[in-house]
Homo-oligomer: A and B are copies of this chain.
């Protein structure tokens, strides 16, 4: 399988059968709405074959996105490379390697893209939005069905195990909700046969939540989870913000991504004591209450030190 060196002959036939795709999870957050770019009526993440023309994966992705959306891509990060044989049916003889990326863009979804191609990502993961408390669907549907699934195991210890895992990722039986475990929750639901993608294979009925082609929803879950982790220790939210913003707008963006609310005063304390922003001098009028100062991101912090994030 693995040899100690790269160049050998017998691998040549196999190599021909390999092709590579890029898959992008492109995120924006116009007025506190967490959205992701999709194609084909929200069923598919934008992707395509990886060609030779580009210097690197990142530059290829960046060029393509900027051309498609007309907006600069602020931040790019590689997510994961998938190459499992069961990714799709045609791969019995041919292997597709999919390299997925997370990209953040500052701008409002615009004219260049069809209006419905940016989707609120909670359509795909309705159980992930806890900004107004835990969604009813968790207690009403998900937890009971996970309990059923746990009970269905043969051995005692396996039942316990399933229940513990379920409780720990979904935060019931007084564990608390950890918003970063997006992928773990999706995988648990998949394993329990509660998402459409699993139903296709094993049968049964899924819990609510829009499905996607192939394993795209899993890739999206990976991206959201990664982003939720990242905002806590790197100032990446600013890649989603307009040049000037109020602190509440910034907070709303963080909350949109994290899917939980934060304490307003403490949020501001954190942002300010880290010197992440500076006042523009202007005020925002349309806050609906007392006018708020406008701030901009201090780009200098990126050089000064390896800074913490927003949480």
Contacts and interface: CB of A to CB of B under 8 A. Distances in A.
Interface of A: 1-6, 8, 11, 14-22, 24, 39-40, 44, 46-57, 60-61, 63-65, 78, 80-81, 83-86, 93, 95-97, 99, 161, 164-165, 168-169, 175, 178, 181, 184, 303-306
A16 B16 contact: yes
Nearest to A62: B1
A18 B50 contact: yes
A167 B252 CA distance: 34
B18 A18 contact: yes
A46 B2 CA distance: 8
A267 B60 CA distance: 46
B5 A47 contact: yes
Per assembly, the copies of the chain total 2
A164 B83 contact: no
B56 A84 contact: yes
B161 A1 contact: no
- Most chain B CB atoms below 10 A, which of A19, A63, A96, A99: A19
A2 B85 contact: no
A3 B48 CA distance: 4
A96 B80 CA distance: 17
Given A54-B85, A97-B99, A168-B305, 15 more contacts: A2-B60, A2-B64, A3-B49, A5-B39, A5-B48, A6-B49, A14-B51, A15-B20, A55-B86, A56-B84, A78-B80, A78-B81, A81-B81, A169-B306, A175-B305
B64 A83 contact: no
12 contacts: A1-B51, A2-B22, A2-B65, A5-B48, A11-B49, A14-B49, A15-B20, A16-B16, A18-B20, A83-B99, A165-B303, A178-B306
Given A19-B18, A49-B14, A99-B83, A1 B178 contact: no
Contacts of A19: 11, 15, 18
Contact of A6 (B11, B55, B96): B96
Contact of A1 (B3, B16, B60, B165): B60
